């Protein structure tokens, strides 16, 4: 990819985007395709998925059989570079020593950020998800409705390519005909769960994931996404032709050299660069947003990690898309006489209401799946199936004891063996070894199924981040300090997940691999562990109680936007990335329009 | 997402058992570990990991990133035990022929948290099993015939049924079997043996074939 160094930046840009993941990628794409001159700052190194993705490498070809280590928390072949819940030299702190009060902050320091390794699950927020307070009295309503975002969901799904089906389920929006790609067939265990889950009332349906199950329509889609913009249409068509359909092998978390799945580095950045309107400076650690006497944002100060030098770049509009907490950090560090508590923080809400997704999981052994005839179940390198939340009515009637729902993700099938293959079978094999063990390993391979719940978290006053008063990172930048607490709505939900998984495993004629956790506070994963970090710069209708308006534009500084997950004012069970992209596109359209009108 | 870390939480022996057992094993280690005299094995504590930005496309083998540390005597015992757990049969080779002992050596020599615990357990276990072989049959484990090896392994292959005096050894055996299986089933031969047929590009994913659906009662 053509990239530039600090010394090659232009004197000024229309838009400076901090971050290159789902939010930064979408923002830069929309702005550059519409003619704005854009500079992107990325804190990590350049990354080329075409050259750097281990597509068919087996686990035995990696150190330690590819298992996770502190250097590579998702395993050796995972796409993440210089990232994890800990990044050397870039600490964060916790206000409490209590493990239940700690937040795990994941970062990836690489071009494309977390989009290179993410699960690609792409679910739309539903109507209820934008107006949760109106429904159950908790948390906040968004200042927008589903219908405001729906056109952008359509556009993003067509751009990145999402497979899935239309099921007509409550608060689980379907996409219009022609938008989604065909869903892949369900695997054996997924189909078996669907059949056996019926008596529990569980709707086991095709999941939506950002993976091309077929080549994109490079003729039909570009005019829909960029009407009256022939240059953008031509560039997007070329970019779509350069992407291949999935060949049903290798896990998506490694990234994709054939560009079959969505990552910013294969889908957003190549066409944005092809416009000639985008410069990217990698290894650029943003520290603060600069302002002038009138309180307008003027640029960004960053540390060039290759030289250690401090640099300033100028822009008419500044967009923070650094991940919600990193954007908070930049804002809190952008102090001046006019903004003594950090930029755009007159509400005092910058850093407040950070959220993650509720997570809990359980594994089961399903005898019916033993000794199945050999067949290839690799599929789309991730799940094909999920269970959308199905108890809306019971919940609304107050029968569940917690206010918000969750969906269920699956891990099943005859996946590429890893270090867990053949391990931990003693309870089933009475400790066999030798030829009997080999028979047992074949028998049980593929007969284990795992269920993971992913649930809504309600924002609360105890979950926020601020600047640590003393600790700085190796660049001398003050670091974040996290405060965290789950409410009973989340811990009870985690308990409910455990019961659901156990019931489903039982319905499949199986047995749980570990006793379901009766205490939700023990079942729930730590905050941040699911890596669905949102909130911290919530949007709202009132400048006194929110940081941005419905356009992700800060109330206090009209040429400062936040397009990552920060403006989320609730965190539905739906994985946030698709919504981040839809809102970033929507914010970018608004920003371009306002810029044209001279309002910024 | 959560990281796939299938074997980071093995059934650990409790601390008191482990210490007692390792001290007993260590007392006679020098007598058994002939290579220890005059040889200075690399110390895993000084080794470095592969870092947060390794070349992930490259193909690695044990010893490429940090030094292996088993002595040749330990390695012989390790290989013999690997092959008791995974011998050759009609569907696949034995564990040692696909270099599983190298994998185990890499594992216990790795500079990451948790590996040092495994190192202690595995080295003590290998020492113990040679001691036990000497005690029962007057020979090192590697030189025992199949029946003799089985006599020892039968006593330690399943923790819940192991007699108290074999409990710690059974915990070692459980861990060692997991490592051997992981090392074996990730190799091309092991993947074929267990019936994995993927990791190949295909035109269309059609889901399970009819015979699978039939077996599951889904047709």
Q: Is the pLDDT of residue A187 over 80?
A: yes
Q: Could you report the per-residue pLDDT of A190-204, keeping only the tens digit for each?
A: 999 999 999 999 999
Is there a contact between A433 and B65 if contact means CB atoms under 8 Å apart? no
Q: How far is A143 from chain B (nearest CA, A)?
A: 29
B34-37: Cβ within 8 A, 24+ apart:
B34/B73, B35/B71, B35/B72, B35/B73, B35/B74, B36/B71
DSSP state for residue A116 in the 8-state scheme: G
Report the C-alpha dihedral over residues A491, A497, A502, A503, rounded to 10 degrees: 130
Q: How far apart are CA A72 and CA A70, in angstroms?
A: 6
Q: Could you report the per-residue pLDDT of A314-331, keeping only the tens digit for each?
A: 999 999 999 999 999 999
As for how many domains chain A has, the answer is: 2
- Give the pLDDT of residue A65: 97
Q: Is residue A29, in this structure, part of any structural domain at all?
A: yes
C-alpha triplet A237, A241, A242: angle, nearest 5°: 120
* B170 contacts B162 by C-beta, under 8 angstroms: yes
pLDDT classification of B4: cutoffs 50, 70, 90: very low
Q: Which residues of B touch A185 (CB under 8 A)?
A: 205-208
Q: Which residues of B touch A452 (CB under 8 A)?
A: 2
pLDDT classification of A537: cutoffs 50, 70, 90: very high
Q: How far apart are CA B21 and CA B169, in angstroms?
A: 8
Is there a contact between A442 and B215 if contact means CB atoms under 8 Å apart? no
Which residues neighbour B120 within 8 Å (Cβ) at sequence distance 6 or greater? B18, B22
Burial call A251-271: b when 16+ CB within 10 Å, e when fewer: bbbbbbbbbbbbbbbbbbbbb
Which residue of A lies nearest to B160 if distances are taken between CA atoms?
A430
Please tell me which residue, B11 or A481, carries the higher pLDDT value.
A481
Is there a contact between B186 and A418 if contact means CB atoms under 8 Å apart? yes
- Give the pLDDT of residue B45: 67
User: How much is the average pLDDT of B66-94?
Assistant: 98
Q: Which residues of A touch B4 (CB under 8 A)?
A: 67-68, 74-75, 418, 420
Q: Is residue A181, in this structure, part of any structural domain at all?
A: yes
Is there a contact between A54 and B56 if contact means CB atoms under 8 Å apart? yes
Q: Are β-strands A13-18 and A310-320 bridged in parallel, bridged antiparallel, or unpaired?
A: parallel
Domain that holds residue A548: 1-50+73-82+94-144+229-357+460-485+532-600
Answer yes or no: do A397 and A493 share one domain.
yes
* A16 contacts A319 by C-beta, under 8 angstroms: yes
Of the listed ranges A409-413, B17-21, B25-29, the least confidently predicted one is: B25-29
Helix or strand run (H / E) with residue B79: helix B72-85
- Give the pLDDT of residue B34: 36
Answer yes or no: do A415 and A495 share one domain.
yes
DSSP state for residue A553 in the 8-state scheme: B
Please tell me which residue, B17 or A278, carries the higher pLDDT value.
A278
Answer yes or no: do A126 and A186 share one domain.
no
Residue B190 in tokens = 């092991």
- Give the pLDDT of residue B213: 97
Which residue of A lies nearest to B55 if distances are taken between CA atoms?
A52
Q: Which residues of A touch B112 (CB under 8 A)?
A: 64, 69-71
Phi then psi dihedrals of residue A104, to 5 deg:
-95, 115
Among candidates B52, B89, B215 on the partner chain, residue whose Cβ is nearest the Cβ of A438: B89
Answer yes or no: do A427 and A467 share one domain.
no
Residue A547 in tokens = 């940081």
Among candidates A250, A422, A434 on the partner chain, residue whose Cβ is nearest the Cβ of B84: A434
Residue A133 in tokens = 């307070």
Q: Which residues of B touch A435 (CB under 8 A)?
A: 87, 89
Q: How far is A264 from chain B (nearest CA, A)?
A: 19
Q: Is the pLDDT of residue B32 over 70?
A: no
Using a pLDDT cut of 90, give the percent of chain B over it: 78
Alpha-carbon A352 to chain mean position: 20
Q: Is the pLDDT of residue B26 over 60?
A: no
DSSP string, A130-192: H-HHHHHS-S---SS-HHHHHHHHHHHHHHH--B-----BTTBPPPPTTTSBPPPPPPHHHHH
Report the C-alpha dihedral over residues B71, B73, B78, B80, rounded to 10 degrees: 160
Which residues neighbour A281 within 8 Å (Cβ) at sequence distance 6 or greater? A3, A4, A5, A6, A9, A39, A40, A41, A42, A302, A304
**Residue length, chain A?**
600
Q: Could you report the per-residue pLDDT of A510-522, keeping only the tens digit for each?
A: 999 999 999 999 9
Domain end marker among A523, A540, A573 = A523
User: How much is the average pLDDT of A104-120?
Assistant: 97
User: How much is the average pLDDT of B175-201?
Assistant: 98
- Give the pLDDT of residue A42: 98
Beta strand residue intervals within A338-430, DSSP E = 352-355, 358-365, 385-387, 406-411
Which residue of B lies nearest to A374 if distances are taken between CA atoms?
B195
Which residue of B lies nearest to A212 if distances are taken between CA atoms?
B204
Answer yes or no: do A268 and A286 share one domain.
yes
Q: Which residues of A touch B159 (CB under 8 A)?
A: 426, 431
Is there a contact between B196 and A72 if contact means CB atoms under 8 Å apart? no
Is there a contact between A416 and B183 if contact means CB atoms under 8 Å apart? no
Q: Is residue A57, in this structure, part of any structural domain at all?
A: no
Q: How high does pLDDT run on average in chain B?
A: 86
Answer yes or no: do A337 and A470 share one domain.
yes
Is there a contact between A373 and B212 if contact means CB atoms under 8 Å apart? yes
User: How much is the average pLDDT of A88-109?
Assistant: 97
Angle between helix B167-185 and B15-27 (nearest 10) = 90
Three-state helix/strand/coil letters over A311-329: EEEEEEEEEECCCHHHHHH
Q: Is residue A579, in this structure, part of any structural domain at all?
A: yes
- Give the pLDDT of residue B219: 87
Q: Which residues of B touch A441 (CB under 8 A)?
A: 181, 185, 194
Q: Which residues of A touch B92 (CB under 8 A)?
A: 438
Q: How far apart are CA A463 and CA A459, in angstroms?
A: 7
Question: Domain with A286 in it: what CATH number?
Answer: 3.50.50.60
Q: How far is B25 from chain A (nearest CA, A)?
A: 23
Answer yes or no: do A117 and A16 share one domain.
yes
Answer yes or no: do A323 and A410 share one domain.
no
* A528 contacts A105 by C-beta, under 8 angstroms: yes
Q: Which residues pair with A451 in a beta bridge?
A: A362, A410
Is there a contact between A430 and B195 if contact means CB atoms under 8 Å apart? no
Among candidates A60, A81, A184 on the partner chain, residue whose Cβ is nearest the Cβ of B205: A184
Q: Is the pLDDT of residue A438 over 80?
A: yes
Answer yes or no: do A368 and A321 share one domain.
no
pTM above 0.90, yes or no: yes
Q: How far is B14 from chain A (nearest CA, A)?
A: 18
Q: How far is B196 from chain A (nearest CA, A)?
A: 7
Q: How far is A485 from chain B (nearest CA, A)?
A: 20
Using a pLDDT cut of 90, give the percent of chain A over it: 98
pLDDT classification of B25: cutoffs 50, 70, 90: very low
Among candidates A361, A376, A434 on the partner chain, residue whose Cβ is nearest the Cβ of B197: A376
pLDDT classification of B36: cutoffs 50, 70, 90: very low
The residue assigned the tokens 């209590």 is A98
Is there a contact between B181 and A56 if contact means CB atoms under 8 Å apart? no
Q: Could you report the per-residue pLDDT of A237-251, keeping only the tens digit for each?
A: 999 999 999 999 999
Q: How high does pLDDT run on average in chain A?
A: 97
Among candidates B92, B198, B218 on the partner chain, residue whose Cβ is nearest the Cβ of A376: B198
Is there a contact between B52 and A424 if contact means CB atoms under 8 Å apart? no
DSSP state for residue B141 in the 8-state scheme: G
Using a pLDDT cut of 70, give the percent of chain A over it: 100
Residue B158 in tokens = 């399943």
A-B contacts at Cβ under 8 angstroms? 264
Q: How far apart are CA A97 and CA A91, in angstroms?
A: 16
Answer yes or no: do A385 and A496 share one domain.
yes
Q: How far is A9 from chain B (nearest CA, A)?
A: 27
Q: Is the pLDDT of residue B2 over 60?
A: no
Q: Is residue A373, in this structure, part of any structural domain at all?
A: yes
DSSP state for residue A398 in the 8-state scheme: T
Answer yes or no: do A416 and A284 share one domain.
no
Helix or strand run (H / E) with residue B212: helix B210-215
Which residue of B lies nearest to A245 if distances are taken between CA atoms?
B203
User: How much is the average pLDDT of A542-568?
Assistant: 98
Q: Is residue A399, in this structure, part of any structural domain at all?
A: yes
């Amino acid at each position: 990819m053509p990239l530039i160094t600090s010394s090659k930046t232009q004197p000024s840009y229309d838009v400076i985007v901090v971050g290159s993941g789902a939010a930064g990628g979408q923002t830069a794409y929309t702005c550059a395709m519409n003619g704005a001159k854009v500079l992107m700052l990325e804190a990590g190194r350049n990354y080329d998925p075409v050259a750097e993705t281990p597509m068919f490498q087996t686990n035995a070809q990696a150190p330690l059989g590819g298992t996770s280590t502190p250097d590579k928390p998702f395993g050796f072949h995972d796409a993440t570079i210089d990232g994890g819940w800990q990044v050397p030299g870039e600490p964060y702190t916790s206000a409490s020593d209590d493990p239940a009060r700690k937040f795990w902050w994941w970062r990836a320091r690489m071009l494309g950020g977390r989009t290179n390794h993410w699960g690609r699950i792409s679910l739309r927020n539903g109507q209820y998800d934008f107006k949760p307070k109106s429904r159950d009295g908790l948390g906040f309503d968004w200042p927008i409705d589903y219908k405001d975002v729906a056109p952008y969901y359509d556009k993003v799904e067509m751009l990145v390519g999402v497979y899935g089906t239309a099921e007509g389920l409550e608060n689980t929006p379907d996409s219009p005909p022609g938008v989604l790609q065909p869903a892949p067939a369900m695997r054996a265990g997924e189909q078996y769960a669907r059949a056996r889950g019926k008596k529990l009332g569980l709707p086991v349906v095709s999941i939506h994931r950002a993976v091309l199950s077929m080549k994109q329509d490079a003729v039909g889609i570009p005019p829909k996404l960029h009407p009256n913009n022939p240059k953008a249409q031509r560039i997007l068509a070329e970019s779509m032709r350069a992407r291949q359909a999935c060949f049903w092998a290798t896990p998506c978390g490694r990234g994709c050299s054939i560009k079959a799945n969505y990552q910013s580095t294969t889908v957003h950045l190549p066409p944005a660069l092809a416009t000639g309107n985008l410069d990217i400076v990698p290894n650029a650690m943003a520290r603060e947003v600069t302002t002038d006497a009138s309180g307008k944002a003027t640029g960004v100060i960053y540390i060039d990690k290759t030289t250690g030098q401090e640099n300033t770049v100028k822009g008419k509009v500044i967009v923070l898309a650094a991940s919600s907490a990193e954007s908070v950090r930049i804002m809190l560090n952008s102090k001046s006489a006019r903004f003594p508590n950090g930029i755009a923080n007159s509400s005092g809400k910058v850093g407040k209401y950070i959220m993650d997704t509720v997570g809990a999981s359980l594994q089961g052994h399903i005898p019916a799946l033993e000794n199945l005839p050999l067949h290839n179940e690799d599929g789309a390198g991730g799940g094909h199936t999920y269970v959308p939340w199905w108890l809306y009515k019971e919940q609304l009637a107050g029968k569940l004891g917690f206010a918000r729902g969750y969906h269920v993700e699956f891990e099943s099938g005859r996946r590429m063996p890893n270090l867990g293959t053949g391990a931990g079978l003693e309870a089933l094999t009475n400790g066999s070894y030798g030829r009997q063990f080999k028979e047992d390993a074949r028998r049980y391979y593929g007969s284990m199924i795992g269920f993971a719940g992913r649930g809504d978290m309600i924002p609360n006053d105890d979950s926020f981040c601020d600047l640590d008063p003393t600790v700085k990172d190796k660049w001398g930048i003050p670091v974040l300090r996290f405060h965290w607490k789950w409410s009973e709505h989340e811990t009870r939900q985690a308990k409910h997940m455990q019961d659901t998984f156990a019931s489903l495993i039982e319905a499949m004629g199986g047995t749980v691999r570990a006793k379901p956790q009766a205490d939700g506070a023990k079942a729930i994963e730590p905050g941040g562990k699911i890596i669905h970090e949102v909130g911290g710069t919530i949007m709202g209708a009132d400048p006194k109680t929110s940081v941005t308006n419905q356009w992700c534009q800060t109330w206090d500084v009209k040429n400062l936007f936040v397009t990552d997950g920060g403006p989320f004012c609730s965190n539905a069970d739906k994985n946030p990335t698709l919504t981040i992209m839809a809102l970033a596109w929507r914010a970018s359209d608004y920003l371009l329009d306002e810029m044209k009108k001279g309002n910024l | 997402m959560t990281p796939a870390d299938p074997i980071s939480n093995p059934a650990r022996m409790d601390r008191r058992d482990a210490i007692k057992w390792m001290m007993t094993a260590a007392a006679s280690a020098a007598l058994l570990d002939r290579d220890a005299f005059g040889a200075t094995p690399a110390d895993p504590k000084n080794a470095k990991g592969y870092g947060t930005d390794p070349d992930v496309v490259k193909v690695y083998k044990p010893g490429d990133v940090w030094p292996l540390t088993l002595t040749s005597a330990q390695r012989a015992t390790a290989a013999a035990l690997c092959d008791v757990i995974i011998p050759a049969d009609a569907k696949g080779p034995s564990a040692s022929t696909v270099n599983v002992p190298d994998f185990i050596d890499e594992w216990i020599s790795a500079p990451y948290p948790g590996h040092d615990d495994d190192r202690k357990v595995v080295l003590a276990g290998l020492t113990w099993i040679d001691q036990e072989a000497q005690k029962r049959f007057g020979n090192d484990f590697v030189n025992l015939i199949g029946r003799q090896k089985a006599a020892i392994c039968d006593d330690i292959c399943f923790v819940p049924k192991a007699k108290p005096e074999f409990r710690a050894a059974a915990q070692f055996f459980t861990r060692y079997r997991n490592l051997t299986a992981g090392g074996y089933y990730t190799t091309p031969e092991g993947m074929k043996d267990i019936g994995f047929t993927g990791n190949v590009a295909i035109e269309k994913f059609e889901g399970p074939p009819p015979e699978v659906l039939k077996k599951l009662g889904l047709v």
